[in-house]
Amino acid sequence: MQEFKDATAMAQAVRNGEVSSVELVQDALFKVKQLNPSLNAVVHLQEERALREAQSRNFSDQPFAGVPLLLKDIGQCQKGEPSTAGSRLFKNILQTHQDTLVNKLEEAGFV
């Protein structure tokens, strides 16, 4: 996978057909799996959901077309996913709503 300067370069590459969103997501997942054992930064990996979105969404008019993004586990609720606020007590509780910020990130084209 080629290296990109930033998220806008990734999105431009998706729009130009140089790379697919699926490839970007697969690369991001590979890096998370490789680095997270030592970093312990990702508490919930949405692998299937991210790949499904990358395959099915239309990114044609979005500034961040198909670019993968990690959500912080504090205050960024995504419907159907856990948001623990850093507490193991909430690890099995799925969100019933989605925050405006997450909606705006998706509208911008982030996966």
> Which pLDDT value is given to residue 74?
83
Which residue in this structure is represented by tokens 């806008």?
Answer: 8
Backbone angles phi and psi of 94, in degrees to 5: -90, 145
CA distance 37 to 94: 24
Contact predicate 21/66, CB 8 Å:
yes
| 3-state secondary structure labels for all residues of 39-104 | HCCCCCCCHHHHHHHHHHCCCCCCCCCCCCCCCCCCCCCCCCCECCCCCHHHCCCECCCCCHHHHH
Query: pLDDT tens string for the chain (111 positions)?
Result: 789 999 999 999 999 999 999 999 999 999 999 999 999 999 889 999 999 999 999 998 899 999 999 998 887 899 999 988 888 898 889 999 999 999 999 999 999
